[in-house]
Amino acid sequence: MDRAPSTPVRMVVTVLLTCMVSASALTATYAMTRDRIIEQEKAAERVAMEVVLPDAETFELDEGLLEASREAAGEVSLDSVYRAEGPDGVPAGWGVRVGPRGYSGPIEMVVGLDREGIVTGVSIIAMTETPGLGTKIATEPGWIDQFTGWEGADIDSAAKDFDSIAGATRSSVAVRDGVMAAGRVYAEVLAVSSGQGETP
């Protein structure tokens, strides 16, 4: 059987049909897996909060503080703020999820702060940094622990002792920026909310 002659119009129609079928398949796949992806992201966030606030038993999203917290975070994107509570509902601190810009994209991370605004830990949830270089922010032994103990109420002073990782300076600075953003959120928003600071 003879093949139909190839013409520019026929080629364009073929490409368009291929694109439409591919787009439909991708849309259907995303629709089927969207809920599972969201559940996995929430589970990763929960694990990160338990790491940085080990004394907490519950984490409650505080949407009422989001707008002011995002303003305080400045150029660092802020996704959520959680009130952490220990046994019997005793306040244990805060979990602040931020996404500072790294070398290859945002570094999604949670910064834990106790009731006085002291950083209790930092946990990285997701990133697209260069394997073997930027990813050292999560794999370099003890590096991320340097942020524990920084005072949110005086975060600029705490950041003066920051040490970056050779070959991963931009990624290191991004993590520092995320911690500093969480500190500013504490100083300007959370301290007032928890009665630790004065209303301006």
Token representation of residue 166: 């050779």
Q: Look at residue 28 in the predicted model and tell me its pLDDT.
A: 65
Helix, strand, coil percentages (3-state) for the chain, rounded to 5, are 50, 20, 30
Whether the CA torsion 93, 121, 105, 126 is positive or negative: it is negative
Q: Look at residue 42 in the predicted model and tell me its pLDDT.
A: 78
Angle formed by the axes of helices 169-185 and 66-73, to 10°?
Answer: 130
pLDDT digits (tens, 9 = 90+) for 58-112: 999 999 999 999 999 999 999 999 999 998 889 999 999 999 999 999 999 999 9
Sequential pLDDT tens for the chain (200 residues): 556 566 777 777 777 778 777 776 677 666 676 677 667 777 888 899 999 999 999 999 999 999 999 999 999 999 999 999 998 889 999 999 999 999 999 999 999 999 999 999 999 999 999 999 999 999 999 999 999 999 999 999 999 989 999 999 999 999 999 999 999 999 999 998 766 655 33
CA 99 remoteness from chain centre: 4
* 191: Cβ contacts below 8 Å, ≥ 6 apart: 117, 152, 153, 197
> Alpha-carbon distance 26 to 71, whole Å?
36
Output the pTM of the full model. Answer: 0.79
Angle at 197 between CA 194 and CA 200, to 5 degrees: 115
Mean pLDDT of the chain: 88
- Given a contact cutoff of 8 angstroms between Cβ atoms, the answer to whether 43 and 56 are in contact is no
